[in-house]
Every structure is written in C-alpha cells, then in structure tokens.
Amino acid sequence: MDLTVTLKGQRRDLTLKNPVLTASGTFGSGLEFAPYGDLAALGGIVVKGLSLRPRQGNAQPRIVETTAGMLNAVGLQNDGVESFLAFKLPHLPWRETAIIANLYATSPEEFRELAARLNSEPGVAALEVNVSCPNVAAGGALFGQDPKLAAAVTRAVREGAPDKHVMVKLSPNVTDIALMARSVEDAGADSISCINTLLGMAVDLPRRRPALANIVGGLSG
C-alpha cells in the first residue's frame, strides 16, 4: 500500500514514504534505536535538537514522571552540529528515509548560520526549527511566544537554507497558536509542527522543593 505523504511547502515540498515521524528528543539521533527495529521503515527521523556548539544541558534531576505524563528539562544537551554531521548522519539511513534536523539557537543570526551549515548536506531532508523549548534560558519558547521574533527566526532559517523544507515547531504555551502559525507562514515557513511540550512543574512534597533542578519543565506524553 502506498502511504506516501507530501507536505506542500511555499518553497520546498517534503515527501515522506509514510506519515510516521519520531518526535525530536525522544529518539536520540536515531542510531540508539537501530537495535530495536528498522529505522528505514520510518517516514522520517527528527533528530535531537542541534546547536552550533556542544551544549551540556541543565543540571540533574531533569526528568520526572508525573501522574499526567512526563516532565523534562534536559536543556537541549547535544554534541553540536559538526559532531552530528561527522559521526551520526553518515550512519543513519538517509537515502531510505527523511532525516529532519531539529535546530536550536539563541538568536536569528545564529539560526541563519546553523541553517546555512545544513543547507548543502544531502543527508538532511528538512529542518525543524525549535522556537518552543521551555527549558532553556535564552531563545527557546521566548521566540515561539512572540510572533515577531518567531517570524525573524523563520526568515533567518529560510535565508540560510534556501534549498531545504523549513518546518517551524510551535509552542502550545501561547494564547493564540493560530497567530503564531500565520506569522511563521508569512515569514516563509513551509510547514509547522505541533506541538512542543507544555510548561509545567512538579513538587517533591517530602522535600518541599520543585522535583526538577530547573524548577519548571515541559510536560509530554
């Protein structure tokens, strides 16, 4: 059966062989899951957020289970884009399935630079722009909660990566998500992805302290 899906873009379409994608950050680089199934059977792999330079992420504890899902405040730990391109991407089945790079930066200029680095990479099918992470001090959800900033980031990525499908990942932590979607569409996004995590906090009652070192985190699941 043909399960092909095409996301029609303003500039670039993205064709997936089926509509099953992994959510960024829940599937590592993809390689960690290779022992458990055929990665090439997926419609695409959205990799863990990449930044220009390596990031250590937040202090521990940064994951906590709740009765209504899981809270995380990983803080976009990753080895940086160069390490991903050198050591991980070559081992992913990029000829058989779409590898979607999830991007994080702290300014539109940095987003442009990161996008430009990936524009000429044949193994990267599309860019997913994270303007919605609730767990970082700079950028993150701040970009995704302001339509002008989200548009500025989208324009920067569009300029940096004219040859890639640009998907913008929206935050649910806004009053009007449709306004955000229109704003990034007007700035050149090919598609949007919904949604990043919901801002939340869990309290360790015996200790009378927030359960996460970061105090707040993103609720998922």
Ligand X SMILES: Cc1cc2nc3c(=O)[nH]c(=O)nc-3n(C[C@H](O)[C@H](O)[C@H](O)COP(=O)(O)O)c2cc1C
Binding site for ligand X (CB under 6 A): 23-26, 48-49, 72, 74, 76, 102, 130, 133, 169, 196-197, 220-221
Set 46, 74, 125, 133: catalytic member: 133
CA distance 112 to 74: 24
Q: Check if 194 is active-site.
A: no
Residue sitting closest to ligand X (CB): 25
In angstroms, rounded to a whole number, what is the distance separating the alpha carbons of residues 140 and 124?
A: 22
Output the smallest distance, CB 208 to ligand X, in A.
26
Give the nearest distance from C-beta 144 to ligand X in angstroms: 10
Q: How far is the CB of 1 from ligand X (least distance, A)?
A: 25
Cβ proximity to ligand X: between 74 and 161 the closer is 74
Nearer to ligand X, 147 or 200 (CB): 200
Minimum distance of ligand X from residue 171's CB (angstroms): 10
Nearest C-alpha neighbor of 49 from the set 26, 69, 31, 16: 26
Nearer to ligand X, 142 or 206 (CB): 142
- Residues annotated as part of the active site: 133
